[in-house]
Amino acid sequence: MEEKKTGGDVFLRRLKWTALAVLAAIIAWQAVPFGLRLLTSEKAEPRAVTPRGDLAADEKGTIDLFERSKDAVVFITTTQRVMEYWSRNIFTIPRGAGSGFVWDDKGHIVTNFHVIAGAAEARVRLSDGKEHTAALVGASPMHDLAVLRIDTGVKRAPLPLGTSADLKVGQKVFAIGNPFGLDWTLTTGIVSALDRSLKGEDGGVIQHLIQTDAAINPGNSGGPLLDSAGRLIGVNTAIYSPSGASAGVGFAVPVDTVNRVVPQLIAKGRYARPALGIEVDQRVNETAAEQLGLKGVLVLSVRAGSGAQAAGLVGARFDRDGAFVPGDVITKVEGKAVDSVPGLLSRLDDFRPGDKVRLTILRQGKEEEHVVMLQAEGASEGAAQ
């Protein structure tokens, strides 16, 4: 007959096995070489720090540039309003974030148009951590630029202004912004190329862009691009990347463009681009180039009282039989070739209303030159030039 085990017997058996396990561990420890046991019990102290010495001259320069510039850089967050489908209630939700910088001592902030496009509200955070609600002063989608204004009693020194016409490929550049919301981040690189073109948010083409390999990521948009003297030379606007993160190809709107557009946005709320006073259309231009072999920009019509009319430009027309008769074809502006409507707009954008420009045109197979005084384009821009 099997003997019945009590709770006490089970407890004693477990105690025995526990004691055996402890004994085995002690035997194993005794088997470890004495030298190894000595190392594990040795007292360790932190290592002495090796004196670094002075920073390199270029490091000092970079640190000084950042310290002098960071207070003029701001962090911009935007919100939008949406309607809940069933309740019809309006909610405010985060829309995006970007960067900007102080333009003057009157509270004007420059950023990219695409940073604030479609937003119901924008808030600007300064380097001291304080946030301010911003008002939109003006915007130019064709340059991807916008101006905000904040009311603050604390005046911030604007960034020193540089030039972009004399930039050279290979010179050092510095970008300050808020990539991925990581505020006041400095990245460095060089000017990789000049006079690049990029399709803008409005479908147009942004011209004369600076290309740089300084790391520019989402959130850097609207931040300043600086030269080694700490001067503003561009506004970081976009990256070229299949992944959406920096791939070493970033673009900035050149400061010469910024310095021409921003004062108009502050004064008038919009950019009145210089115009010839003619009607043009890219789709018609492409058709004419394909069917008629024309290279240039076809003048569809000339506005009465415009500089183009005064200079004697001739628009296209239909003859008595309804056949299309091409007018003048603009092939060059101040000696620089143009072969599309965006190309023409870009060349004219280098000038101001009131300037006179020399056009090379093709009329009935013969090349002629005409000087046209530019005028400010009206509020209704359309395809007019």
Positions annotated as catalytic residues are 114, 144, 221
> CB within 8 A of 205, min separation 6: which ones?
197, 198, 199, 342, 346
| Tokens of residue 51, six digits | 């004196």
Angle 371-375-379 from CA coordinates, rounded to 5°: 150
Contact 287, 341 (CB under 8 A): no
Which among 361, 382, 379 has a CA at the least distance from the CA of 370? 361
- If you search the block for the tokens 């946005």, which residue do you land on? 265
> CB within 8 A of 97, min separation 6: which ones?
75, 76, 77, 78, 115, 178, 181, 219
Which amino acid is located at 220 in the chain? N
Rounded CA-CA distance 270/139 in Å is 6
Contact 365, 328 (CB under 8 A): no
Angle 320-325-327 from CA coordinates, rounded to 5°: 135
Neighbours of 252 (CB within 10 A): 27
| Tokens of residue 216, six digits | 């520019």
Helix (H) or strand (E) holding 31: helix 7-31
Q: Is 248 exposed, middle or buried (0-12, 13-18, 19+ CB in 10 A)?
A: middle
Contact 214, 145 (CB under 8 A): no
| Tokens of residue 247, six digits | 């791939």
Which among 136, 158, 166, 140 has a CA at the least distance from the CA of 148? 136
Contact 269, 379 (CB under 8 A): no
Q: What is the rounded end-to-end Cα distance, in angstroms, of the chain? A: 113
